[in-house]
Structure formats: C-alpha cells, structure tokens
Structure 1
C-alpha cells in the first residue's frame, strides 16, 4: 500500500530585496522633517556627516553613508601630495635663501678680515718703527783705505736724513749715489740692507795721484782729475803736474792736459808712481815723466796707458837714463 504523503507547508511570501529599506525610508524622511530635541547643554559639539570628495551630496545631507566614486580617492591623494610638495618646496627655497645670505655674510666678513690683516702688515712693514733705519746700525767697509780721509761717521752723517724710514722703502742705489755725491773722496758706494735696522755700506775711494799748482795752493787730484782737496803746500809723495818748459811765462795747464796726465798717473802701480816726481806735457800733448833718481820716461800721448804702465814697470828693473815707452810694443832704453 502506498504511504500517504505529508501535506506541503504553505509558502510564505518572500519579501523582495530592499523592501525593508524602502519601508524605513518614510520614517527617515519624517525624522529629517521633524528634528528631535536639541542636544542638552554640555553634551559636546554636534557631529556632522563627513563629506567625501566625489560622493553624492544628497547622501551627505541625509547622513546616509555612500561609497565614493572610484576616482575620488585618487583625487584626494593627489591633493594631499600636492600640498605636501608645495609646502616642502617653499621650505627648501626659504632655507636656500637663508643659506645664501649666510654665505654672503661669511664671505664679506672674511674679505674684511683679510683686508685688515693686509693693511696691518703693510703698515708694519712700510711705516712702523719695526724696520726703521737707525744710523747707529750703519756699518761702513772701505773707509780705512783713505788713511782717515773718510770716516764711518761721515758716511752715517750723509745717511742720517733717512733715519726712521723703513728699510723696505729705501732705495739702496739712490743711497749709494748720495754717499758718493756727499763725500768727494768716495768714487762709488754700494749699499745693502742689514735687517732689521741697519745698512751695510761698501766704499770705493778716490786715491790722490798728482798735485797741480793753482792760485790758491795745490789741488790734490785723483786719476779722473777730480779735486779731492786744496792744500797750501805741495803734498809729499805726489807727482806735480806742469807744462813743458815751466816758468813764469809758461802757459797754464788746460783741463784736457790735466785729465791726460792724471789718467797716466792713475794707470801706474803704486811702486812706479812713487818714483815719479814730476809730469810735464808739451803743447803737442806728449808727456814725459821725471823720476826721482834723475832718469826720465818718455810716455808719448795718452793712448794705451795700461800697456805702457806694464812695460815701464818692467824696464825700470834695468838701470838707464831714459825709458821710452811711447811705442809700447818696441820700447827702448838709453
């Protein structure tokens, strides 16, 4: 026999999706139309629904959360990133400006310091007493060759006008010229600096080689016919200059004749020069040297003086009354 089937349950009506939500919509609309009582005092600030960029403004006004558009989050991130980049760039530019100002200030300060240091060094070297000349610190070399004719104090006296000047600013060549011009016995002077306050002066002196009679006495001459001094009496040991046939009616020596004879006397070595007592010159310019032993030396004109002097020094070793060196390559004695 067949078993009887159980009766099927009656199907309950299935509520369509969203019906419940749709049924609540009028209630929410009524609540929004008739707001509830205000929040009591002290209950805190009212909360407002957040508005998401890209979301439906109507949903934001009703307070119903909705999902934002897919591009809204990207725009939000771009906005935030652009704000950060803008703020960071501004800060970096400001920092760079501050660094540039600081660098300029440091450079300016460094330049001022360098200028002040250089100015201090220049003043100390050129104008301060640090390197100032002191006459007491001037040393003189070569004055002893003049047999007291030139003293170190005379040289210091000439250079005393530069006392207190920095050695760096002194022109040593000009100082040498001042010494030579200020002291007639000095032919030339070489000046060097002796740090920190002195000078070293090396002298080349003029040596007297002849004497010329003048109205005021006897002029003492060197090899360049420079008058070193004038004395009342003929100096001993110096050759006297005269014209040939000297007498009361003899012509006076010309400057050219004096220059020729002093150059001849200057070419002789000291030993030979001491043997010459007198030198005469003719109107034709021929010079004859009279020796202290009575002999004579025919010199001729003023050419080849150095060679003639060497030849005469050699001939004087042979006794003779006349030594002729006017032709130095063919000298004769008799």
Structure 2
C-alpha cells in the first residue's frame, strides 16, 4: 500500500442514526417512568389521609375503620388489596373486598358481604348465618332482621346437615322467603318451611329451585286470596305439586 493512502470514514447511515435516537428516547422514557413510580410510591402528597368503607351491613363500619387505621399516612399506590384483607382479618361476613384510590388522599374500601339466609336461634343467642352455615353476626332479641329462623338441634350441630339446610334455603327466592317464619330439615334431608296460619311448605332438596319458586308463588298467592284451604303445600316434585 502506498504511504500517502488515507482511510476515509463514511458517514453513518440515516437509518442507524434514527435507531440510535429511538433507543435514547426509549431509555429516557423508561427512566422517567421508574422515577415517577418511585416518587408517587413514596411521596407524602399521595398519602392516605381518609379511609372510607362502603357496603358493610353485617360488620360494623367502625370496627373495619379501626382495623384499617395502620394505612393512615401510607401512599395510596403502595396499598394493595392483599394488605387490606390482611388487616381486616378472618371476618366471616366479609366475602370480598375491592380497593380503590380517590385522589388525592382518600382510600375507598368496598366490602362485599356474604348473603345471609337464616337466623340460627341457639338458646338465648341468635346468629345470622350464610348459605354455608357460617355465623356472620350475633344479633339481639330486638333485632328486626326478617329471615327464617332455625332452632338449634342435633341437625344444626352437625355441620354437614346444617350446611345442607342453609344451602337449600339459599335457593328460595326473597318473595317466598319473606313469608317463612321457621325452617327445619327432616331426617330424609328435605327442608320444610313454616308459613303463616300454621301452614307448611315442603320444599324438599335444592334441585329444580326455579320451578319450585314459581309453583310456590302460585300457591302462596292463592292462599293470600283465600282461594286455597290447604294446610300443606308440597313442591318436592314441582312438576306434580301436592296440597292437602
């Protein structure tokens, strides 16, 4: 090679420059996003100063607010549903929780409670119970909750049998349920419901619930209009209901 030969550097292609610029921009966006997240996660400007609880009827709102007190002052982005659930603890009436932030400083905790189906009367104590037979709340004698009452017995003390009864009760629609005073479970595993004027609705098991509700409503309407004198309505087989 001749001594006076020179190496000439070619300018970078426009495409290469564009890719380099895009990489720089992307890296800057990521860095800014991470910084923003860190700032928001630890900034006292977004700290929870207020806590609101909605949807609680069986559980005292005051009790829940006391349990959630440790979240006061914690930045909203750092408060998770798992942390809220941990603070609430094993509360049988709380089926689910939904947590959301109401900017700039309020934490809203929406409580979804278990559906009550009956009142278990055990001596002088009464408890609202769920479809799984779990005690949701202890109530006093003057409580006006309108639910079928179940007297404590050997059946109710057997968790499996009691859960069978409450499970069947959960298939009865409110329109029928509001006319029921007491519910019992027979040895055959069938549910019987006490109606006004010493009438009985034999419901059977939890099968064909929609049709049973439809048939029961027809008979209850007839009873209300004094068009039926039957003391017993048996919808165990709703395709062929029996009255006597």
How far apart, CA to CA, are the structure 2 residues paired with 1:277 and 1:287?
13
How far apart, CA to CA, are the structure 2 residues paired with 1:269 and 1:176?
33
Higher helix fraction (1 or 2): 1
Which of 124, 129, 133 is the equivalent residue of 2:48?
A: 133
Structure 1 position 194 matched with structure 2 position 102: yes
Change (3 A) 1:229 1:156: closer
Which of 152, 155, 159 is the equivalent residue of 1:255?
A: 159
Paired residue secondary structure (1:225): coil
Report the CA distance between 1:190 and its aligned residue.
1.7
Unmatched runs of 5 consecutive residues or more in structure 2: 7-23, 224-229
Report the CA distance between 1:285 and its aligned residue.
0.7
Higher strand fraction (1 or 2): 2
Q: Which has the larger radius of gyration?
A: 1
- Equivalenced residue count is 218
How far apart, CA to CA, are the structure 1 residues paired with 2:127 and 2:191?
20
Matches within 5 A, 1:59-74: none
2:220 aligns with 316
For the 8 Å contact 1:324–1:333, the answer to whether it is kept is yes
How far apart, CA to CA, are the structure 1 residues paired with 2:217 and 2:88?
32
TM-score normalised according to structure 1 size: 0.53
Paired residue secondary structure (1:133): coil
Paired residue secondary structure (1:221): strand
Report the CA distance between 1:293 and its aligned residue.
2.1
Which of 284, 290, 293 is the equivalent residue of 2:197?
A: 293
Unmatched runs of 5 consecutive residues or more in structure 1: 1-81, 90-109, 244-249
Matches within 5 A, 1:4-153: 120-134=35-49, 136=50, 138-143=51-56, 146=57, 149-153=58-62
Q: CA RMSD in A?
A: 3.7
How far apart, CA to CA, are the structure 2 residues paired with 1:204 and 1:271?
22
Paired residue secondary structure (1:276): coil
How far apart, CA to CA, are the structure 2 residues paired with 1:262 and 1:179?
29
2:175 aligns with 271
2:137 aligns with 229
How far apart, CA to CA, are the structure 2 residues paired with 1:295 and 1:311?
16
1:31 aligns with none
1:280 aligns with 184
Report the CA distance between 1:170 and its aligned residue.
2.5
Report the CA distance between 1:289 and its aligned residue.
1.0
Change (3 A) 1:284 1:121: same
How far apart, CA to CA, are the structure 2 residues paired with 1:259 and 1:239?
15
Q: Residue by residue, what CA displacement relative to the aligned partner does 1:84-138 show, whole Å, maximum 9, x if unpaired?
A: x9xxx9xxxxxxxxxxxxxxxxxxxx9xxx698667534311212132222x2x3
How far apart, CA to CA, are the structure 1 residues paired with 2:83 and 2:155?
38
Report the CA distance between 1:295 and its aligned residue.
0.8
Q: Residue by residue, what CA displacement relative to the aligned partner does 1:183-213 show, whole Å, maximum 9, x if unpaired?
A: 4433322222222322233332335432223
How far apart, CA to CA, are the structure 2 residues paired with 1:207 and 1:119?
43
Change (3 A) 1:226 1:125: same
Report the CA distance between 1:316 and its aligned residue.
0.9
If asked which structure has higher relative contact order (CA below 8 Å, sep 6+), I would say 2
2:15 aligns with none
TM-score normalised according to structure 2 size: 0.70
2:67 aligns with 158
